[in-house]
Structure 1
């Protein structure tokens, strides 16, 4: 067994002026330090960071922010489980006869039960039912192949790789291979033109058959040894004499036994091999840096001297062996984790080593940390002792010589009252509060808070059902009220399974309603209006699959339940609404408020009231006629204007003509068109 024995845990941490983590954790075995920033209230001393872990958690310090040595011990016990699988060989030539008849019945003897050949089959997952295991083994039939070697390594590789399918647990893992002949190994697959090497992965189908038996080569013994070691599996080989010695050399932490001619000694071999494996216990650890060393001691014979491994031989079944592990750090180092455990077992103890050099709190290495006003470094949540020269105070806010004393004292007075309310000292403009009469500390910017003056009930502070914080009660989970005097109950606030109809909170068994709803049960809201228009888009979307919310209807309207009806039923609780949708149609619906806020049940009238559509023919005809009439009118106007202009010009012409006086004269150039010529010789006869 490997164990960590924690020191006796107590409930008391002695109080003192411990203002640093180192001072705190060495002050007593039950003292822890809270490194949380802003853990101390204004005016409190840093000494309140030092307390028991329980008290620090109560004050709001998380477990990860508490500095205290931790010891963890966990022991588990698992029941032994067994499983069963079978193998033959690759079902290709030259390993198996591929004749159709031979693939159905590979055995030479026709009088025996025989099953078709296969690579590997996972028959039964790990189980603690021994009888079921025996029954499954007895139901298996023999098969056959052509050559003597078999596909045992293929089967072992799948058992190692398929951890989930096999059902391996976190206890000792033993793998028994029983075979009366040798086995194929890497390279033999080339005889069947299988060139891809084994990929060391799980390839079981739904029927638990090895699907890549004829696609991947056999694994090598080295591959198998590495996979067994990776999966923490200890193999037990029940094999023939010719392969015994080589297997023990190649596969560490294995046991090999020789089968007899008729294999009747297989059970004895398994028992002997298991005893051989389990009788030797070797405890070791992961590789460590040079700054750490591990030594082992045990209660075994010769185990009193420290060694690099813990070894116990000839350990009997049921015998408990104890190993003492000593870890030594040669210098201050960062946290280092490693596993310690027995070889061949999956159970490991995780050890984390952290050197305690001045209380390591993993603080950021900032010398101008904002928490310290940029003038100091945070160490385990505090600044006070790590301020730059010339600065002081819990947050390094005070600079010596920068401000006069009167100015600093004014900062310690609330509303020009008493300095620190008479409950503390003004140090550099910050109140350092005194202890109260009850042994606690005043706190607050001006020491105005204490945890001893809250409402009382039955002469008990906060009724004994909570704690007082700065004059107000913080009640335990099952109580409420200003003095924690009411036991939490909501029986008088319930309507069905809902408290205050989902519109308020139940305090002291009475509803405190919100948003204008009225007591006692927050049923009505006199000043509220029905949000018809607000839910219009949701109703259009849910009822008619239209509108702006069409694409994300369910996300935009999660609290609205819509039912489309042919006729609205108006109940006393329902309100009628008329809202225009995105197509300018009127939607008629009723809204009935459900429990909670903005939850409504809506009935929507299936028929929408839409305006009559326009007469397209009339519009087109009117438009055409209008255009024609306008054109004709324009032509008439133009014609009239031209006529008026011509008439006016004609009239002017006539007037001008009347006014003109012309002289008659012949044109000297004009000649008559006809000429009369008399014939002198013509006598007229």
Structure 2
């Protein structure tokens, strides 16, 4: 019994797998060949004449190829547009020369014409060339890196020499960082800002965020000379502003001099890093904008104004600029940067020795590892398109959103299979495919095949169509005045039963019960009033419109298909009102304050406005918080909208007003943390306002550190004195109680009157040796 159940189960599983493995054409609302091939990749169309029987729906022409062949469709009459692939640019892979760059990917530009839902696979080749290397050394100059700086000063020549042994040419640059110069990150005491190092350290730089020191250069001596001028600095907390520095090093390409090369960014540090959101500890609320902000001294000018960037921002900027980071860190923070590396593709982590003496070997090893790992992915992927990859370097590779090959040597070629699928019909779209951190990209142009190419004859009097039409993909397209599956019906002739459905509106009564269906066209009857019904389904008449004062359309208009068409000067559903705006005029002279339309001399308000003239909106508060950037540029010529203030803030009619003690109905903070006060009132219409901006801002004063510290010390001293007095008082009270108790005991003491039997008086007897006792 159990064996029988097992066999049945296996059979059902096999049958289910077989059924699901078959092609299936799921079709809905199919009338034409174009409709059919849009339904799915398994759907094909039979354009064979006489394939359908009289009265049979043309949708039976759409099915799987297997089913159509079973039904008798000739193979050559099956329309099945295939997906196609063409190469627009296909340069051969090459090493390159001194005058021409290498070609590392092939092809470079293709066009795919895809059937919706049908995946298409093509090959994408990559051959690694001997590319020059640009290396930017970004160093933490907090005090704990003092010993490391001494070794880095001699790093340039050795590092250039080691890289040139691997690649044809190399350049090196230098930048340094510490942290934001605000509490709690840095001591903001004036003396500490000038010298944040310990007192015994004389060679110390002022506190700073990030500074660019040396452009990329092939001159190792210049690197040594510039880095030798650098001095250590310091801050308060352990994490550093590493992400701030990376963002500037990546985005300031022109200043640093990144070239057409393999780009490496080495971050050397012994501490963790601050992330987006940490800036709030110092009162920084403006998010990082991800752009280059170096001043004339090549210092990061927005260090104390913008928050730290997020890890996601850093990852995107590194990818967009084809830069590979190497985190050269000490052992105590290696785990932190290993986790960070997992979030940044094409990055590596190396552990520094205590004095960074192994940094050259670390960088060279990381470069070899990064450059030999090829990761192919895509950018700007349009909606409804999916892409997956497999590679030739891994036989067990499963399709994924990236193609990965490890240990690819210089001159070695690898092949990636790329599968692209469009889930629906789309307009012409583009996206790119490229190996990460390489500038070369494959442009993929995608369009969909959603129209049939049939064997149509240019003949509008085809025999198959009763000489009254032409054949399109096996079906008849009738000439004007003819209807039917074979164009056999002309206007005035009786229609077949199958055509009667065309006379039913929304599957209702044939011709709405007001006419006869002839060849799919309604011939309308006359109404009781002697007028003809009309419309495609006889749904219209000119006798059933709204009445006013017992007159059709109030006697001020004509009834057309159940709707009143009013004469000039009248309006309303029954033309019952004279056109007038008198009752809709606002105080400003506009109609309904520009927030509605005037109907029958009354305002019909829009967008939540209410009142007789649409003057109020309880759900439309003044946009004070959203107007901060505009107020800053209109009133004080500052802020992010400064360059295009008139365009971005055209909805505000602003006036600068002298502050004389009055307050506005709005207050917002600007980028410097100052309060701006202004009065905002609505204009007529939507989203337009009058604004009076007061010319004075309320800026917070810097904290008086001396007063705070002095007050704190005085408070501590006072608390200590009070504690001592309290202890002294407690001891005095306790001693007083003990003394009184002693006095009471003394008063109660009584001495015994009898002699103590143990006590004997002292008696001294002296014997005269010459006395005998005789008288």
Identify the TM-score tier after normalising by the shorter chain.
0.3 to 0.5
- Return the structure number with greater helix share: 2
Structure number, greater radius of gyration: 1
